[in-house]
Structure 1
Amino acid sequence: VAVTDQLDPQIVDQLKLMVLPGDPPPNLGTDAAAGNTAESTHRYQLVPRPAPPPVPNGWYAACFSADLGPSEVRSFIAVEHELVAYRDESGVAHVVAAHCPHLGAHLGGGHVVGETIQCPYHGWRFGGDGACVDVPYSDAHIPSKACLPTYPVREQDGFVFFWFHAGGAEPTYELPRVAEVGDDGWTEPHPFQIELVAALQEMGENNVDYAHLRYVHGRAAVPNDTSTFTTDGPFSTVVEDMPTGLTFTRDAWGPGVALLRVPGVMTIYSTTTPIDRRHCGLQWHFYFPEDMASSAELIMEGVTGTHGLQADIPIWRDKIFLERPVLVKADGNIAEFRRWYAQFYEGR
């Protein structure tokens, strides 16, 4: 039984007008549609493939706030770096380079001591600004080079965000707050996360590639005439006016954070963090109006399942990034999206 068969018909209509229907794509039988989530469609691939774009500058999620407990240390790989997130004893989250400048030990095996992180190898301790504040077996002056690279952090709305800039610049924009978070009329967040093979830019570009909605996700029509794409500095918005009279919006705040809203159905706080040029980690929080709480799991399954996110995954995995694609007018706002997105690349 399809997920959508168990939902109110009006909600099904709203979901089918988005990116995430529950029916197989047109011209494909059920078996073929399900095959979209199988292993790579190619047994062999030429090596090397063209390199995807570099990691863009912006805010990225290190983890869900709930996953970084008091005095906890977490290792992760993002923006082509080994990193460590930790929460000091005052409750403040930090993100730092993973390796101790002393002899290179990985701080992921270290401990929080007060407001510092302690290296597991020789006990050197580093403050939130990255400076070494204690070498426990020495009274000598601490070298100024005994310093960890650090990343600006903002913890808000259920995520620990860190700022990456290839040139080392400070943040150039801030992330807006989300009204649904903590609102009594909305559920607590339902988390979802996955790692996949995809270039970060192409995942964002997917949202203005309206034609793929028909052939990958089974939309009845390509919504070129009902969708708009607008930009405001580091922010962009996709708006689709649905035949039901509702409006679907996707607000992107830089390359790695977005908010998707379907009025009366759900809000998705979407974060996409590049691991490297070819791999990304998704961390999403789903929010539902309280009167939709009983349908939350069904809707999430529809959004992330076979004909939703899972249908995109093999496309991203097997495709190559083309700097100069051959586009036609009906390809929607891909060219406009790329012009907007270029601002996040250092030196472009």
Structure 2
Amino acid sequence: MASAGSGFLGARLLPPSVPDPSPRSLGSLLLLSLLVLGVWAWWELSRPVELIRGPEEVGYIPERGRDKAYTANQVRRRRKKGDLPPVYPNGWYHLLDSHLLEPTSVHNLTVCGEQVAVYRTACGKVYVVDAYCPHLGANLAVGGRVVGDCIECPFHGWQFRGKDGKCTKIPYAEKVPEFAKIKTWASCEINGMVFAWYHCDHIEPTWTIPEQEEITSKKWVYRGRTEHYVNAHIEEIPENAADIAHLDFLHEPSILSGIDLRYTKSKMWEFLRHTWKVQWEAEPAPNKHCSRMTLKHASLVFGKHFSLLDVDVVARQVGPGIVFLSFQHSFLGQGIILHCVTPVEPLMQKVSHSIYYQKNYPTIVPRFILLAECTQFERDVMVWNNKKYISKPLLVKEDSAIAKHRRWYSQFYSDNSPRLTFQEDGLDW
């Protein structure tokens, strides 16, 4: 009888030998990893950047032990509003970028305190109508379908024509009443965006949005967008163009110092600073609804002018809520940021920045420009979200452009323009 541990039954099973990896296989693995990383980095940096901020994400200093949403809500409750101008100026307002509105799709959006349904037909035509069905109040943009050039109510199947709002079909009725219709909004699609016209007296558009030829001809291509919500009166945002003094104070620190105003003056980043030369002026007739800011940006590195970072900017405002921010760099080419402000509520503005750039330049260039603009803009958001509007500000002579801007902007208000007359306590995000 075989002793334990001897023979076949007692044999120990040893793991198969594994050869040591050779330097060649390790090199191949490393090369493959670098290739995958490079492909991912190329894909990530070549696609348009989409940076969407929520209403409470930017511009607030969280209270101890509380989250940002709680802090934002408390700021809205406690802040003094001031003697505000009318809250909804007359003009064109951005609804959404064209590429977000696909054929036969419907979007539910808010503009000037109103709910609208924005839809595109199969043929590509865009219509904007009131969101609520006049029958029993269903929201046409929540479950509604696009049928031809009409939008169909998800509740009872009533169909409304986008061109004039006329009801064209009631599935269970013998006849459609002549008075069955919904409100339509004048709209246009231009420069890769969809806009709606608002006027408190229901007057048809009195001016048009200029076409940016480089965008429509595809010489410049879309490279991304940012979206923010600002808790302020709409006029405060474009007024920045005439507030020349704030540029050399709020925006002097480099973008490396971030957006939190408690730390932007940190000595750590003093080696890099921005300087600005700015001029603002209103345009004469027939473009009285336009104004123009010219800006020369320069950078100081350790106190020395670094011309490589110089940028020339022209910001042309068209109406109360659209700005064409064109910029040109000595060797990084040129492009444009379409800056749009849309009033959602009386003191809540949706602000978008969409960048178009020369298509023969690497995408990383416009991405960097957009993110740099975003950083500077978010510093302003922290001020706007917490400030009070002062109707009769204490100005010095160097602030004269602010008074001129307010006189220019007043043309967008009418006698019937709505004002904020109620207390907002109790409203939540």
TM bin, normalised by shorter chain, reads 0.7 to 0.9
Q: Does the alignment pair 1:239 with 2:294?
A: yes
- 1:271 aligned to which of 326, 340, 361: 340
* Residues 237-268 of structure 1, C-alpha deviations (whole Å, 9 max, x = no match): 11235676864211111011110111134310
Where in structure 1 do 4 or more consecutive aligned residues deviate above 4 Å?
A: 40-45, 182-185, 219-224, 241-246
- 2:349 aligned to which of 257, 273, 280: 280
Structure 1 window deviating more from structure 2 (261-270 vs 244-253): it is 244-253
Q: Does the alignment pair 1:212 with 2:246?
A: yes
Aligned pair in 2 of structure 1 residues 267, 77: CA closer, same or farther (>3 Å)? same
Question: 2:354 aligns to what SS in structure 1?
Answer: strand
- 1:134 aligned to which of 166, 169, 172: 169
Structure 1 window deviating more from structure 2 (105-114 vs 259-268): it is 259-268
- Deviation at 1:48? 5.9
Q: Does the alignment pair 1:253 with 2:318?
A: yes
Quick check: 1:210–1:222 contact (8 Å CA) kept in 2? no
Question: 2:213 aligns to what SS in structure 1?
Answer: coil
**Residues in 1 aligned to 2:79 and 2:251: alpha-carbon distance in whole angstroms:** 30
| Code of the aligned partner of 1:65 | S
Question: 2:363 aligns to what SS in structure 1?
Answer: helix
- 2:158 aligned to which of 121, 124, 133: 124
**Residues in 2 aligned to 1:164 and 1:270: alpha-carbon distance in whole angstroms:** 18
- 2:282 aligned to which of 213, 216, 230: 230
Aligned pair in 2 of structure 1 residues 247, 132: CA closer, same or farther (>3 Å)? same
TM-score, normalization: structure 2? 0.67
Question: 1:299 aligns to what SS in structure 2?
Answer: helix
- Deviation at 1:309? 1.1
* Residues 149-173 of structure 1, C-alpha deviations (whole Å, 9 max, x = no match): 1110111111011100011100000
Which residue number corresponds to residue 143 of structure 1?
177
| Code of the aligned partner of 1:238 | M
| Code of the aligned partner of 2:118 | A
- Deviation at 1:332? 4.6
Could you list the runs of 5+ residues in structure 2 that have no partner in the other structure?
1-57, 64-70, 254-272, 299-306, 418-429
**Residues in 2 aligned to 1:47 and 1:261: alpha-carbon distance in whole angstroms:** 35
1:154-165 matches, within 5 Å, as 154-165=188-199
Q: Does the alignment pair 1:38 with 2:90?
A: no
CA RMSD of aligned residues (A): 2.5
Count of residues paired in the alignment: 310
Quick check: 1:195–1:280 contact (8 Å CA) kept in 2? yes
Highest RCO, 1 vs 2 (Cα 8 Å, sep ≥ 6): 1
Which residue number corresponds to residue 373 of structure 2?
303
- Deviation at 1:221? 8.2
Which residue number corresponds to residue 237 of structure 2?
203
**Residues in 2 aligned to 1:112 and 1:338: alpha-carbon distance in whole angstroms:** 42
Question: 2:294 aligns to what SS in structure 1?
Answer: strand
Could you list the runs of 5+ residues in structure 1 that have no partner in the other structure?
1-34
| Code of the aligned partner of 2:81 | R
| Code of the aligned partner of 2:82 | P
**Residues in 2 aligned to 1:182 and 1:150: alpha-carbon distance in whole angstroms:** 26
Question: 1:270 aligns to what SS in structure 2?
Answer: strand
**Residues in 2 aligned to 1:328 and 1:196: alpha-carbon distance in whole angstroms:** 27
Quick check: 2:276–2:296 contact (8 Å CA) kept in 1? no
Structure 1 window deviating more from structure 2 (211-220 vs 257-266): it is 211-220
Quick check: 2:248–2:276 contact (8 Å CA) kept in 1? no
Quick check: 1:52–1:277 contact (8 Å CA) kept in 2? no
Q: Larger Cα Rg: Structure 1 or Structure 2?
A: 2
Question: 2:221 aligns to what SS in structure 1?
Answer: coil
1:148-187 matches, within 5 Å, as 148-183=182-217, 185-187=219-221
Identity score, percent? 30
| Code of the aligned partner of 1:256 | G
Quick check: 2:244–2:399 contact (8 Å CA) kept in 1? yes
